[in-house]
Chains A and B, each alone.
Chain A
């Protein structure tokens, strides 16, 4: 199938690290993405990782990819209230993206 799965909710305290997990199904996916969506807005590309990489770090964001288990994670260090949003992982199949259901991150002060 084409399912990309994520847990629906995550709640953390400000200053803690957040880890959002995602599993995908297509082992031939070339790119895997993380997008952020704030209420009523479009999607903002946060970061992406090529399938031959295990890890990618970009400031407060760390992406880990386990190809064997088809597992992708996004770690946000020092989470801030402004990070509260819905985070979507997506895998690229050919020219189109298949999205997970989104994880709603709630950051409490």
Chain B
């Protein structure tokens, strides 16, 4: 089956630093990738839709200057949390859309971000 690799799986950083999370589709090309955020015991909230070669589309309430998304190739999207603060601590999950007659979304394994 299709695989989406997300890295790192866990990161701890100091307040004020930036953290980059990578999402790769390993065996298919993904023109569209999605970034979600999940707080403990809560649902996944869509942050943004990342389209290869164009600017990401952010959901209402998500700061685009805070959460920088780059989708420079058909197999890689990155999310950079800039100037991270403790309230940014969360579980971030990416997903990649595999097109074709039977479109499917495949998810990465998630990144647990802890900001001290």
Contact = CB atoms under 8 A, between A and B. Distances in A.
B105 A40 contact: no
B44 interface: yes
Interface stretch (B12-20, B78-86, B107-115): B107-115
Interface of B is mostly: strand
Interface of A is mostly: strand
Given A40-B112, A42-B6, A95-B97, A101 B42 contact: yes
Given A45-B105, A95-B32, A40 B46 contact: no
Given A95-B32, A96-B49, A40 B43 contact: no
Contacts of A43: 44, 93, 95, 107
A40 B105 CA distance: 19
B28 interface: no
Contacts of B46: 96-98
Interface in A61-109: 88, 95-102
**Interface footprint category on B:** 20 to 34
A99 B108 CA distance: 16
Nearest to A30: B103
A46 B97 CA distance: 16
A44 interface: yes
Interface of B: 6, 32, 34, 36, 42-44, 46, 49, 93, 95, 97, 104-110, 112
Given A95-B97, A96-B46, A101-B42, 4 more contacts: A33-B105, A98-B46, A100-B43, A101-B43
